[in-house]
Structure 1
Amino acid sequence: MTITDRLSPEALARARRLLLLATVLMVGLVFVAPVSRVIAETVDPSRATVTGTVFDDRDGDGIRDQNERGVPGVLVSDGAGIVQTDGQGGYRLEVDPERRITDLVFITQPSGYAVPNDEFMTPRFWADLGRLAADDEKTADFALTRVPGSESAEFSFANIADPHVNPQLPEQIREINATKDELDFIQVSGDLTNSATNAEFEAYLAATAESELPVWPAVGNHEYQSSAGTTYAARIDNYRKYVGPEWYSFDYGNRHFVVIENNGQASSAEQFEQQLQWFRRDLELNAQDKRVVVITHQPMNLTFGGNRAYDVYGELLEQYGAELVLVGHAHSNDAEANSEFISTAKHVQTNSSSYTVDQTPRGFRYVHMKGDTFENPFRVYGMDHSLVLTNPVPGASIAAGALDEIQVNAYHTSDEVTRVVYQLDGKGPWFRMTESGEMSWYSAWRGPRPSAGRHSIEIQAHGPGGTLWSTTETFTVTTEKPVVPAATNDWPQHQGNERHSGVATENLGRDLDLAWIYRTPGTFLTGSPVIVDGVVYAGTRDENAEDVSAVHAVDLATGRKLWEFPTDSSVSRTVAVHDGVVYAQSLRANLYAIDAATGELLWKRSPEAAPEPYVQRRWGGWGVTVAEGKVFWTHAERFGPGASGALEALDPKTGTTIWLAPMVNNEMAGGTPVVDGGRVFVGNGGGNGGKVLAYDVATGARLWQSSNALSGTGGGVPSVGDGRVYVGEDNAVVARDVVTGSDLWIHRSTGPSLQSNDAVTSTAAIAGDTVYMGFPDGRVTALSAATGAVVWSTMVPGDIDQGGVFGSPVVTGDTVYVGANNGHMYGFDRATGAIVWDYETGAWNATGAAVTGNTLVFGSWDGNLYAFTKGS
């Protein structure tokens, strides 16, 4: 038995990190002496000297008066050396004038104080010294203002990521500031700009000037101006001139916030070691009695995140029990508690305020610090006092026997809803409702049941600060008996079968009645429900790492839970069911085989571990397909066979590998596989847009690799039929020959996309000689399968935040059902495109529907499954 056999997984992880730490430290022991003297010990002895005072600016004018004392013990740094102010608040710091072009000196804002904000609401914790020369002597004083209550362990701030100077940024800043809750500051996790130009930084600052709160920045990989030169100092200079140093720290309450650069740009041995040792010293001086929060740009748990050399930071942060890491970069939502990178911390990735790659609604987070705990709820932009009655259906005729409960979706971007009440027919008591997830409120009917006839119901939603908004709807109660959902044919995987064709054998018609709503605390996005043997199966996402990701089994007839299987992270796409087994993949690239009857785990597959001393990074945000005696899944890792993305075929009973084939990209690589005619097709994401790869089902040999005719991030899932494979991207759909992979035709939707990366998540439904597709410009379009010619195209309403069609169309009889981001599920006339049915949830409806017997089921961003039956 080796020593690794005797060590626990936790001990092994720690040993790996210690080895990595030792490896990195061997690069150079630059900081052997106290950090404030270290620069003098480098090869180049030229120095400039900066002196000054950090003082208590009692009148807030930024000028030190005689009665304004210095503040002792404040840290002052240039990003390399660190000194502390003396008993009178004075400091002396020697800096290397060759280290950067624009030389900055900055302080660590101490708890209980605030630095002043400039006209753009950027905290001015830093002083711009211009370009120093050897032997220069400069003075930089720093004003601090006492903030009563800011030493409390309970406070809140907002976290946004990757704004990329998008046109909506000023309004997004205003939405955050509009909160009625106490909010102390805003923090941006990098990619403020696209190319780090003067014009982009000025646009970013014009947006932050809209804020009433300070806005703390972090450097992203788009903050390096490539046209400025080849050196790190040249490329980072614009960032430094406009918003300050690229690594720094500040205190608020009982938390120490440390902002670091992990984009791999400061990658020379000297630069890397300089930040690492500054980081080490900062923690030694600040983190002994505070809880640590890390703010950086690139995720440390994804294949395309921070360079593996930065794994060493995890070991240092674990020593101080870091509790939270806030990142961006991937334009996706992914929150992971107790990550492998830092086992003590929650690793929280927030999607982009500009455009998203995982196709989640654009948004931000509030982070509520509550003593020794915290919450990090995700908030969706652009929802202004939304209030939608989902049950009973407004304007509908409802069988008296179906009136078992009331449900409402209530949401406001700036504030969390605190209370919802309802009143029937404008009289009698107001009844309180119970919250479910981030949007839904429900209640069993209270008081007398409504009699046959027309009724009204008024709903009131309440928020903090006494805010209130309301709506009144009507419905008609009938004496008819409600229709009970009943199954016939199975709908076992995405879009009904391994070809993803999206066509039901049943004809549901256009008069659908709500049968039941099944609530979960998670969310549904592009992962559709499936139905087998009268049971609905669906996987939920977890936007906040609150242990709500799971696979749910629901009785079709009643909408009651049969079982729930928790997963380690979000189940982002569609599960598959075959021969009594549910196959589900999680975002951390774990594949679960679950007994369909009992919900018990049968087997589990995970990517292999990273080589010593590194941490493995994994991604598995796609669905599973079962066909020809194999389970097909895609996954990506930083190390191992998934380093370029992997398509793998497994034995359904045991999970053993039959074959594994590399793809061409591990940046969100994959796509739910589609199988037909002895071939398996998969979209390959990242920068490859609508590229499709084809493999031999039996051997895994790659048969062809398509063109990259469509740009984008590869969010589409292919479908196949009649010798053509279809995939969407870039506000378009392309058809390719299944044998050769050659492009046959491309249709680009005619309107401007309401999603700024033009993502197409819709899977084309193929019915006879017609293909049906949803597009991000808000169109649902029927196309000739042979030529791509438009048969009809219908635009649905929407705006930049609640617009576009991400749902996958499903054809049943003469109706096409598809969900839209404007909060509606629509039925379209198959021949003309006219809207013939409409149901509103008030949340994004980006899943496809599942159809069996007399029932249609779909999921919504509100975390609920909705079942409708063919009307009586």
Structure 2
Amino acid sequence: MWGGDYRPGYTKEDVYHWLKNDLAQIPEGKPIVVFNHDYWTSGDRHVFSAGKGMDIDLDAHNLKAWVYGHVHINHITRHGNALAICTSTLARGGIDHATSAFRKIGMDSKGNISSELRYAYIDKSIVIASAQNEQAPVTKDGKLQVSVNTYSTVTQTAKVTYAVYMEDKAVTPQRSMTRQTDFNWTDAVKLPAECEGRTVTLKATATFKNGETARAESFFTYTSTPVEVKTGDNWTNLGGNPQHVAVTKDTLNLPIRLAWVKNMGSNVYMTSPIVVDGKVFAATMDENIQGKSSVTAMDATDGSLCWKYSTRSSVKNTIVSAQGLIFAQDIWGYLYAIDAKSGKLAWEQKLDVAVVPGLEDGLAANETTVFAGARKGLVALDARTGREIWKNSSWSQREGTTCTLSLSPDEDVLIGSVQWGAMYANDARTGKLLWAKSEDGIRFRSSSPSMHDGAMYFLSESSLFVLSEKTGEVLAVKKLPFSVEATSSPLVTRREIIFGTAGEGIVALDRKTLDIKWKYRTGKAMIYTSPYTNGEMAQVESTPVLSGDMVIVGASDGTFYAVNRKNGSLMWRHKTGSPILTTVAVSGKTFFGTDFSGNIYCFKAE
């Protein structure tokens, strides 16, 4: 490393002489991998230069990979014939809320690189995600849906088997499940007619490659009749709208039943599902660049696959819909406009953003315009054609940022953010910079503002802020005795402000006094994502959604929760066994959620 946060005790000339000597010891043509603290290029060539003719063309020495970690994110990009591979911290969440992880990198004799990201602190976890609350879903033809999430940090899962029992008698043989992702395994089985209306128990066993095992069981009343699902209004943005208000028109009541669960074949990060015209849409990531990232459409009634569109790289944040199209942007800066009905690409655009550290911001859209990109690559585009309306020229990129763009109710102001930089307000119609704020901890940009009647509510560092959307004036600030470095957008009700936190679960403030009204502590995070946190942290990255007096939220402990708006008491929960970093989408009496394993869940309420 020839530079960084602190000046080293050596010069670039010293690095040049050391590197030249080291390369001279390597046989010609032998693949090489460089390990360094940082990475210095966005181009396709790797030429180290110390000036005065002291240049080394690393590509000529068969460079295959550059492994670094300075930006504390999980990110792989291709530069010419070499990969640039970055991995977040093993012990804590990354700067951009990257998962706490380590990476296993392999190379064959020809220099072909393989990668496997392993998530820290999970010890032989197993949960039957499809059978909770004494109920389990069935397919249209009456088959029991079986979905198991299992993971162990130190070893891969070799196989998962299960059987179903009634009164301690097996009614199915031991069956092998099919691997969908690093967490998820699935199967479907027809139970005998004698099980109808009876209590049965599903027992699952995960066998890991190191010989260890984990077991789980769940009992439920079996019925061969599927739960009937009917959707209502569209849910087109994070929180249902580009203001991220997250309040539903429909009132959900208990009981809540799982109607179906399906896996998309790759992990889900912070791409919350949306619902449009009877379909549910979600997007996946691929931290190992194996070609698995995609945008997926499923029939909302039964989870059957409508279409899947492969993207070049991971989609890590909010997708949106407008003009009959589904929009997603990947970390390499490609924006996709996909026909919601057919799954065919309507148009795409390469956004003017850096590929390192990558584009992780979320989209926003109104009926005619999609707002995409970030920093000087932030643009407003005609949703139907992709025609550029304006492009930002006022603020630049820094570290990876997981905020989603927010649009004011009058659609005049667009709010964007730069992690460790500032919050910015652009005129949503012209792109002109209106104001910027970085003081008082606002530069720590994780939470996407929710917009209400001229005011915007968001979290930063250890405070709740309320700002004027037009001027950036601080209208109110509440310093809290804990970290709120979470991506959660505050849910603003008539009497409360409710949000997720980095370590205290779900918190509600009195809207008038800003005093803490109640707290609901979720379980310990399965994977840490909040920057620089670990230990007994009850992390909630998702945005709470309000339906009547029911607040629905997913947590990093792998559980969907419904709590009472007034006092925070638990009303319902569903364990998945995989972290939940996304916000649910509500349509009619149904809501949809995703987990890190790549599952989409459809829940039906009364």
Q: TM-score, normalised by structure 1?
A: 0.63
Instruction: Report deviation, 1:507.
Output: 1.3
Q: Deviations over 1:174-232 (max 9, x none)?
A: xxxxxxxxxxxxxxxxxxxxxxxxxxxxxxxxxxxxxxxxxxxx89845x4x6xxxxx4
Q: 1:536 aligns with which of 280, 298, 321?
A: 280
- The change in CA–CA distance for 1:333 and 1:745 in structure 2 (over 3 A counts) is same
* Residue equivalent to 1:814: 549
Relative to total residues, which structure has the larger strand share, 1 or 2?
2
Does structure 2 retain, via aligned residues, the 8 Å contact 1:388–1:409?
A: yes
Contact 2:450 2:490 in 1 (8 A): yes
2:432 alignment partner in structure 1: 701
Which residue of 2 is the match for residue 630 of structure 1? 369
Q: Please list the CA deviations of residues 30-80 of structure 1 after superposition, one character each: whole Å capped at 9, or x if unmatched.
A: xxxxxxxxxxxxxxxxxxxxxxxxxxxxxxxxxxxxxxxxxxxxxxxxxxx
After TM superposition, list the pairs within 5 Å mapping 1:167-186 onto structure 2.
Answer: none
Instruction: State the partner residue of 1:718.
Output: 449
1:451 pairs with 2:196: yes
2:35 and 2:24 map into 1 onto residues whose CA distance is 18
> What is the CA distance between 1:653 and its match in structure 2?
2.6
- Given that 1:502 and 1:764 are in contact with CA atoms closer than 8 Å, whether structure 2 keeps it comes out as no
Separation in structure 2 between the aligned mates of residue 609 and residue 783 of structure 1, nearest angstrom: 38
Are 1:589 and 2:326 an aligned pair?
no
* 1:393 pairs with one of 132, 135, 138: 132
Distance 1:586 1:390, change over 3 A: same
SS in 1 for 2:58: helix
For residue 608 of structure 1, report the CA deviation from its aligned partner: 4.8
Report the alpha carbon displacement of residue 522 of structure 1 after superposing the two structures with TM: 2.0
The amino acid across from 1:796 in the alignment is T
Q: CA deviation at 1:275?
A: 2.3
1:720-869 correspondence to structure 2 within 5 Å: 720-751=451-482, 753=483, 759-798=485-524, 800=534, 803-869=538-604
Distance 1:668 1:583, change over 3 A: farther
Structure with greater contact order relative to length (CA < 8 Å, sep ≥ 6): 2
CA distance change for structure 1 residues 680 and 361 in 2, over 3 Å: closer, same or farther?
same
Q: 1:277 to 1:839 in 2, by over 3 A?
A: same
The alpha carbon displacement at 1:424 in A equals 1.8
- 1:423/1:726 Cα in 2 relative to 1: closer, same or farther (>3 Å)? same
Deviation for aligned residue 1:334: 1.2
Contact 1:664 1:684 (C-alpha < 8 Å) held by counterparts: no
Q: Does 1:350 align with 2:90?
A: no
Distance 1:392 1:435, change over 3 A: same
Report how many residues are paired: 584
Matching residue of 2:28 = 288
1:470 corresponds, among 215, 230, 239, to 215
Question: In the aligned structure 2, how far is the partner of 1:307 from the partner of 1:761?
Answer: 38
**Equivalent position amino acid for 1:290 in 2:** K
* Residue identity matched to 2:445: G
**Cα distance, 1:711–1:627 mapped onto 2, change above 3 Å:** closer
2:234 to 485, 490, 494: 490
Partner of 2:206: 461
The reply to whether residue 579 of structure 1 matches residue 317 of structure 2 is no
**Residue 528 of structure 2: aligned partner:** none
Does residue 1:557 correspond to 2:294, yes or no? no
Instruction: Tell me, in whole angstroms, the C-alpha distance in 2 between the residues paired with 1:315 and 1:595.
Output: 47
Does the CA contact (< 8 Å) of 2:322 and 2:366 recur in 1?
A: no
Matched, 1:686 2:419: yes
TM-fit CA distance, 1:529: 0.7
| Number of the residue aligned with 1:323 | 64
Query: Could you tell me how far apart the structure 2 residues matched to 1:314 and 1:525 are?
Result: 40
- Greater Rg over alpha carbons, structure: 1
8 Å CA contact retained: 2:412, 2:427: yes
Structure 1 pair 803–621 and aligned structure 2 pair: CA distance change class (3 A): same
From 667, 670, 686, the counterpart of 2:398 = 667
1:391 CA drift (Å): 1.3
Distance (Å, rounded) in 1 between the aligned partners of 2:106 and 2:54: 25
Provide, for residues 444-474 of structure 1, a one-character-per-residue CA deviation record: whole Å limited to 9, x for no partner: 2166464321111221111123211212222
Task: In structure 1, give the amino acid aligned to 2:448.
Answer: V
Q: Is the 8 A contact 2:462 2:485 kept in 1?
A: yes
Q: Retained in 2: the 8 A contact 1:749–1:779?
A: no
Q: Distance in 2 between matches of 1:563 and 1:301?
A: 37
C-alpha change, 1:483 and 1:712, in structure 2 (3 Å) is same
User: CA offset at residue 532 of structure 1?
Assistant: 0.7
- 2:156 aligned with 1:416: yes
Counterpart of 1:655 (choices 386, 391, 416) is: 386
Residue 115 of structure 2 corresponds to residue 376 of structure 1: yes
Structure 2 residue aligned with 1:335: 76
Does the residue aligned with 2:343 lie in a helix, a strand or coil? coil
Tell me, yes or no, if the aligned pair for 1:620 and 1:635 is still in contact at 8 Å: yes
Aligned CA distance change for structure 1 residues 314 and 724 (closer, same or farther; 3 Å): farther
Does the CA contact (< 8 Å) of 2:273 and 2:594 recur in 1? yes
Q: Which moved more, 1:489-498 or 1:668-677?
A: 668-677
**Deviation of residue 415 (structure 1)?**
0.7
Corresponding residue number in structure 2 for 1:364: 102
Helix, strand or coil for the counterpart of 2:415? strand
Answer yes or no: is the 8 Å Cα contact 1:400–1:477 preserved in 2.
no
Q: Distance in 2 between matches of 1:630 and 1:335?
A: 31
Letter in 1 for 2:435: W
Q: Which of 600, 616, 634 is residue 344 of structure 2 equivalent to?
A: 600
| Secondary structure of residue in 1 paired with 2:19 | helix
Partners of 2:96 and 2:400 within 8 A in 1? no
821 and 618 in structure 1: CA distance in 2 versus 1, 3 angstrom threshold: closer
Partner of 1:513: 257
The superposition leaves residues 149-188 of structure 1 with CA deviations (integer Å, 9 ceiling, x where unpaired) of xxxxxxxxxxxxxxxxxxxxxxxxxxxxxxxxxxxxxxxx
- Taking a change above 3 Å as real, the CA distance of residues 557 and 315 of structure 1, as seen in their structure-2 partners, is farther
Distance apart, 1:300 and its partner CA:
4.6
Instruction: Work out whether residues 133 and 574 of structure 2, in 8 Å CA contact, stay in contact via their aligned partners in 1.
Output: no
TM-score normalized by the length of structure 2: 0.89
Any conservation in 1 of the 2:353–2:374 contact (CA below 8 Å)? no
Deviation at 1:706, TM superposition (A): 2.9
Q: Which residue of 2 aligns with 1:118?
A: none
One-letter identity of the residue aligned with 1:329:
H
Question: What is the match of residue 358 of structure 2?
Answer: 619
| Identity between Structure 1 and Structure 2 (%) | 26
Q: Deviations over 1:428-456 (max 9, x none)?
A: 43211111111011112166464321111
Q: 1:664, CA displacement in angstroms?
A: 3.5
- 8 Å Cα contact 1:318/1:344 also seen in 2: yes
Unpaired runs of 5+ residues, structure 1, are: 1-217, 227-231, 234-265, 611-615, 637-641
Matches of 1:400 and 1:578 in 2, distance apart?
Answer: 31
**Secondary structure of the structure 2 residue equivalent to 1:746:** strand
Tell me, in whole angstroms, the C-alpha distance in 2 between the residues paired with 1:400 and 1:521: 19
Letter in 1 for 2:88: N
Structure with more helix by fraction: 1
2:138–2:144 CA contact under 8 A, matched in 1: no
Cα offset, 1:310, TM superposition: 9.4
One-letter code aligned to 1:793: K
Report the Cα offset of residue 694 of structure 1.
1.8
Equivalent residue letter for 1:803: A
**SS of residue paired to 1:424:** strand
CA distance in 2, matches of 1:296, 1:658: 41
Q: Provide the C-alpha distance between the structure 2 equivalents of 1:460 and 1:739, rounded to a whole number of angstroms.
A: 56
Q: Give the distance between the partners of 1:664 and 1:400, measured in 2 at CA.
A: 51
Aligned CA distance change for structure 1 residues 783 and 722 (closer, same or farther; 3 Å): farther
Question: How far apart are 1:602 and its partner, in Å?
Answer: 2.0
